[in-house]
Amino acid sequence: LAAALLVTMADTPELMDEDEPFFSNLDILLFSLIAGLLVYWLVFLPQNRSCIGKNIVVFYGSQTGTAEEFSNRLSKDAHRYGMKGMSADPEEYDMSELSRLPEIENSLAIFCMATYGEGDPTDNSQDFYDWLQEGDADFTGVKYTVFSLGNKTYEHYNAMGKYVDKRLAELGAQRIFDLGMGDDDGNLEEDFVSWREQFWPAVCEHFGVEATGEESSIRQYELKVHSDLNMNKIYTGEVGRLKSFENQKPPFDSKNPFLAPVSVNRKLNKAGDRHLMHLELDITGSKIRYESGDHVAVYPINDSVIVNRIGEVLGVDLDTVISLNNLDEESNKKHPFPCPSTYRTALTHYLDITNPPRTNVLYELAQYATEPKEQENMRKMASSSPEVCSNMPCRNILAILEDLPSLRPPIDHLCELLPRLQARYYSIASSSKVHPNSIHICAVVVEYETKTGRVNKGVTTNWLKSKMPTDNGHKATVPMYIRKSQFRLPFKSTNPVIMVGPGTGIAPFMGFVQERGWLKEQGKEVGETVLYYGCRHKNEDFLYQEELEEFEKTGVLTALNVAFSRDQAEKVYVQHLLKKSKEAVWRLVHTDNAHIYICGDARNMARDVQNAFYEIAEELGGLSRAQAVDYIKKLMTKGRYSQDVWS
**Helices of type H across 237-279:** none
Does 591 belong to an annotated binding site?
A: no
Does 461 belong to an annotated binding site?
A: yes
Instruction: Strand 341-342: give its sheet, edge to edge.
Output: 221-226, 321-326, 341-342
- What does the CA dihedral 627, 631, 633, 634 come to, rounded to 10 degrees? 130
Does 51 belong to an annotated binding site?
A: no
Does 426 belong to an annotated binding site?
A: yes
Range 266-300 burial, b when 16+ CB lie within 10 A, else e: eebbeeeebbbbbbbbbbeebebebbbbbbbbbbb
Does 64 belong to an annotated binding site?
A: yes
Instruction: Name the DSSP class of 154.
Output: S
Does 114 belong to an annotated binding site?
A: yes
Angle at 579 between CA 578 and CA 582, to 5 degrees: 90
Does 582 belong to an annotated binding site?
A: no
Does 274 belong to an annotated binding site?
A: yes
Does 443 belong to an annotated binding site?
A: yes
Q: Say how far apart CA 85 and CA 104 lie, in whole Å.
A: 12
Does 152 belong to an annotated binding site?
A: yes
Does 278 belong to an annotated binding site?
A: no
Q: What element of type H or E holds 35? A: helix 25-43
Residues belonging to the active site: 427, 599, 644, 646
Range 66-91 burial, b when 16+ CB lie within 10 A, else e: bbbbbbbbbbbbbbbbebbbbbbbbb
Q: Measured in Å, how far apart are the chain's first and last C-alpha atoms?
A: 56
Give whole-number Cα distances, 567 to 111, 469, 539, 559, 574, in Å: 50, 35, 9, 21, 14
Does 67 belong to an annotated binding site?
A: yes
| Contact between 83 and 106 (Cβ < 8 Å) | yes
Q: Say how far apart CA 512 and CA 529 lie, in whole Å.
A: 9
Does 425 belong to an annotated binding site?
A: yes
At residue 95, φ and ψ (nearest 5 deg) are -70, -15
Does 504 belong to an annotated binding site?
A: yes
Helices (H) and strands (E) in the chain, counts: 22, 23
Does 442 belong to an annotated binding site?
A: yes
Does 153 belong to an annotated binding site?
A: yes
Helix (H, G, I), strand (E, B) or coil at 299: coil
Does 424 belong to an annotated binding site?
A: yes
Does 513 belong to an annotated binding site?
A: no
Instruction: Name the DSSP class of 351.
Output: B
Does 149 belong to an annotated binding site?
A: yes
Does 626 belong to an annotated binding site?
A: no
Asked if omega into 251 is within 30° of 0 (cis), the reply is yes
Does 478 belong to an annotated binding site?
A: no
Does 112 belong to an annotated binding site?
A: no
Range 315-325 burial, b when 16+ CB lie within 10 A, else e: ebebeebbbbb
The residues facing 240 across adjacent strands are none
Does 517 belong to an annotated binding site?
A: no
Instruction: Give Cα 398 distance to the centre of its chain.
Output: 24
Does 427 belong to an annotated binding site?
A: yes
| Contact between 281 and 441 (Cβ < 8 Å) | yes
Instruction: Name the DSSP class of 349.
Output: I
Q: Say how far apart CA 57 and CA 75 lie, in whole Å.
A: 7
Does 437 belong to an annotated binding site?
A: no
Does 154 belong to an annotated binding site?
A: yes
| Contact between 509 and 599 (Cβ < 8 Å) | yes
Does 117 belong to an annotated binding site?
A: yes
Helix (H, G, I), strand (E, B) or coil at 605: helix
Does 155 belong to an annotated binding site?
A: yes
| Contact between 180 and 192 (Cβ < 8 Å) | yes
Nearest CA among 625, 598, 614, 439 for reference residue 118: 598
Does 575 belong to an annotated binding site?
A: yes
Tell me the Cα Rg of the chain.
Answer: 28
Which positions make up the binding site for FMN?
Answer: 62-67, 114-117, 149-158, 184
Which positions make up the binding site?
Answer: 62-67, 114-117, 149-158, 184, 274, 424-427, 442-444, 448, 458-461, 504, 565-566, 571-575, 608, 646
Which positions make up the binding site for NADP(+)?
Answer: 274, 504, 565-566, 571-575, 608
Which positions make up the binding site for FAD?
Answer: 424-427, 442-444, 448, 458-461, 646
